[in-house]
A and B are shown apart, each in its own frame.
Chain A
Amino acid sequence: MLELSSVSKTYRTGDAALSDVSLQVPKGQIVGLIGPSGAGKSTLIRCINRLVEPTAGDIVLGGKSLVSLGGRDLRRQRRRIGMIFQEYALVERLTVMENVLSGRLGYVPFWRSFLRRYEGADIQRAYQLLDRVGLLAHANKRADALSGGQRQRVGIARALAQDPDLLLVDEPTASLDPKTSRQIMRLLTEICAERNLPAIVNIHDVPLARQFMQRIVGLRAGTVVFDDAPSALTEDALTEIYGAEDWDAMRKGDDEQAEAESDALRQLAEVGA
């Protein structure tokens, strides 16, 4: 169970990306997060695994608060949270197998990961996951040799290798064609059902969200304006979320994206990675 209470994020520039967001996600539930660009979707899911630092509020995953952790404790919690990215974010020059095994980095000591001497159980698990996403035959190919849909499946396998208690999914289909998008969404929902995994999925595509999500949360300008079953997502509700035609929000969206990236970079510098 994931519990967000009054989470807010104000970037250094003074832009409030999130204000007072409270949300509960029970085990096994798949929540679609929709909203215009700049509504704070990306910021919200990055606050949960602290790739972006929330400015206020509390985030509790399975009884453990995530907001005040640092160093080793933070990493220990991060490994419980699988993340899937818009442009796959695989390490392009590593093999598919190395990418999947990198999901175990939070569990194995440095020398094992450096020498690629993973334990038998981890290796077997990685093969199982590759089999599950239909890429067993590609295990030794380099990630950049795969197609978009295949890469996203590797991304899913990597997140699952973490043996997560929660999946964060950031625009999983934005770089894919409509057919592959549906395949990926189906795979994601099946896997969550198999493992009773909760997931938060940022998604641009409203029909896709309606088709695959159990619950939809609408975000507008950093606040929750809709939270209900997909069937309740009427035209009026959509106008409430997206506005009639809100071109300003799009421009703000570019800003938010840039801010989130610079925030992440700054953190990277702080941990001295």
Chain B
Amino acid sequence: MLPVDWCLRSRAKRIAIWMGWLALVALFVWCWQIMTETTIWAFVWDAPRQAQDVGGRMLPPEWGYLPELMQPLWDTLNIATLGTIGGVIMAVPVALLAARNTTPSATFLRPIALFIIVASRSINSLIWALLLVTIIGPGLLAGIIAIALRSIGFIGKLFYEAIEETDPKQIEAIQATGAGPAQVLTYGVVPQVMPALWGISVFRWDINIRESAILGLVGAGGIGLKLNASMAILAWDQVAVILLLILATVVVSEWVSAVIRRTII
């Protein structure tokens, strides 16, 4: 006689899972207590009124401010675009060193390349900009380099994964013709990864437009500079115009990047 009852998990496992959930809830309650210990509740209860106040000062937006924003907006677009191009140029060799199937030395160069990728990714572009403004002074250049440095990790990581996913048969076939290493790379690997490189770069450009909009907060040029200035003088109607302009730019850039990626892939 075969058994008629069957359970996915054993009794011990079920209890363990239940205890796990219980622990999670307890942790949440405990954290909530610590979190609210220093909260000044008067401010929190006040929040809707404050929001209403700021919102009221933002309306109506000061549309006359718009022409003055065109130059900083252009700067922002340039920071994003030049930064992305610089990032791609630096990321491609790093990705080639990091991909298991193209690295010249898996024991020595690959870890270095992976470290560059991690280091670049772990630092936010705002922090890069903060450092660079200190080093090379405020302005567009600091913004461009900050965006480029942050992009290396993102593009490098996605691109080296694309290189590792290439079809080894096509590469083997090129090798079998007697091609040298550089030829194997340009005929066997490059055609397979070009669509990925374009897709990744356009995606990063789209992200960089958003990131470069705030770099001005630390003095690295662009529309963030204006945002900072307007906030400092509490000109909320100007802030509203800037935020709407950034929103419009992001929407347009997202649309552009979607169109480009669709035509490539």
Contacts and interface: CB of A to CB of B under 8 A. Distances in A.
B176 A78 contact: yes
Interface stretch (B180-188, B197-205, B230-238, B253-261): B180-188
A105 B8 CA distance: 59
Interface string A242-268: 000000000000000000010011001
Contacts of B85: none
Interface in B62-103: 100-103
A51 interface: yes
A105 B100 contact: no
B221 to A, nearest CB: 38
Interface string B189-209: 101101100000000000000
Contacts of A113: 179, 183, 186-187
Interface in A91-134: 91-94, 98, 102-107, 110, 113-114
Contacts of A158: 173, 177
A105 B178 contact: yes
A269 B188 contact: no
A94 B177 contact: no
A85 B104 CA distance: 27
A78 B181 contact: no
Contacts of B179: 75, 102, 105-106, 113
- Interface range on chain A: under 10, 10 to 19, 20 to 34, or 35 or more? 35 or more
B162 interface: no
Contacts of A272: 102-105, 181
Nearest to B169: A89
Given A89-B170, A113-B183, A264-B168, A79 B177 contact: yes
Contacts of A87: 169
Contacts, number: 113
B182 to A, nearest CB: 5
| Interface-central residue, B171, B173, B191, by most chain A CB under 10 Å | B173
A8 interface: no
B249 interface: no
B228 interface: no
Given A105-B187, A273-B102, A273-B171, A93 B194 contact: yes
Interface string B98-126: 00111111100000000000000000000
Contacts of B102: 272-273
Given A113-B186, A272-B104, A273-B185, A49 B176 contact: yes
B96 to A, nearest CB: 10
Given A272-B104, A273-B102, A110 B182 contact: yes
A273 B177 contact: no
A272 B97 CA distance: 10
B32 to A, nearest CB: 52
A107 B185 CA distance: 16
B177 A264 contact: no
A110 B190 CA distance: 14
Nearest to A168: B176
Contact of B177 (A72, A105, A268, A271): A105
B170 A269 contact: no
Nearest to A113: B183
A162 interface: yes
Given A265-B101, A272-B104, A273-B175, A110 B187 contact: no
B165 interface: no
B176 A81 contact: yes
B179 to A, nearest CB: 4
A221 interface: no
A87 B168 CA distance: 12
B168 A91 contact: no
Contacts of A77: 178
B187 to A, nearest CB: 5
Given A269-B101, A273-B181, A94 B191 contact: yes
B174 interface: yes
A30 interface: no
| Interface-central residue, B100, B180, B192, by most chain A CB under 10 Å | B180
B110 to A, nearest CB: 10
A70 to B, nearest CB: 13
Given A81-B176, A90-B170, A102 B187 contact: yes
A110 B180 CA distance: 8
Nearest to A107: B178
Contact of A75 (B103, B105, B180, B189): B180
Given A51-B176, A91-B191, A110 B104 contact: no
Q: 3 closest pairs, A vs B, by CB?
A: A106-B178, A79-B178, A105-B179
Given A91-B192, A105-B177, 12 more contacts: A51-B172, A51-B175, A91-B174, A91-B188, A102-B187, A104-B177, A105-B179, A114-B182, A158-B173, A265-B168, A268-B171, A272-B105
12 contacts: A72-B180, A79-B178, A87-B169, A90-B170, A91-B188, A94-B191, A98-B187, A102-B174, A106-B177, A106-B179, A268-B184, A273-B184
